[in-house]
Amino acid sequence: ATERTLSIIKPDAVAKNVIGQIYARFEAAGLKVIAARMQHLSQREAEAFYAVHKERPFFKDLVGFMVSGPVMIQVLEGEGAIAKNRELMGATDPKKADKGTIRADFADSIDANAVHGSDAPETAAAEVAFFFPGLAIYSR
């Protein structure tokens, strides 16, 4: 089915000037960028976005990293977009990411791991609505 997923190009990849290279991978895989915005997240926004991880030991470092520079936020649409984007990204820890994935090629560490992508239909809907509330209203 056609799906939408929320993608974030994180501060490390924005600083490396590889937004275009990452977008090219989305496009080559048949994912269409249907909404996008560059934004420097506030502490509050980053904490709210990652609220599900609030109790995890890495939460503070994760939020600190996400507010360290601008990010590029986009909604990707396409057939099986959620799983397709996760395949393109590779494993969360770049050391475990398959060759040729975005994280294998552009990420440095588990925090500076280049990209975020929604992991399931429910989180995709919530994450798209978090950053692009208008889109959620008109989806499907």
Binding to ligand CMP (CB under 6 A) within 72-101 occurs at 92
Residue type, 72: M
Size of the residue set binding ligand CMP (CB under 6 A): 8
Q: Which residues contact 107 (CB under 8 A, 6 or more apart)?
A: 12, 13, 94, 97, 113, 114, 115
Is residue 111 part of the contact set for ligand CMP (CB under 6 A)? yes
- Least Å distance between CB 79 and ligand CMP? 22
Annotation-wise, does 56 bind a ligand? no
Is residue 45 part of the contact set for ligand CMP (CB under 6 A)? no
Q: Give whichever of 92 and 139 is closer to ligand CMP, judged by the CB atom.
A: 92
- Least Å distance between CB 117 and ligand CMP? 6
Residue in the block written with tokens 């590889």: 18
d(CA 40, CA 78): 27
Is residue 103 part of the contact set for ligand CMP (CB under 6 A)? no
d(CA 137, CA 43): 26
Is residue 7 part of the contact set for ligand CMP (CB under 6 A)? no
What 3-state DSSP class applies to 9?
strand
Active-site residue, 116 included: yes
Is residue 62 part of the contact set for ligand CMP (CB under 6 A)? yes
Question: What distances in angstroms separate CA 49 from CA 26, 63, 85, 112, 119, one per listed residue?
Answer: 22, 9, 19, 17, 14
- Least Å distance between CB 103 and ligand CMP? 9
Which residue numbers are catalytic?
Answer: 116
Interface ranges with ligand CMP (CB under 6 A): 53, 58, 62, 92, 110-111, 113, 116
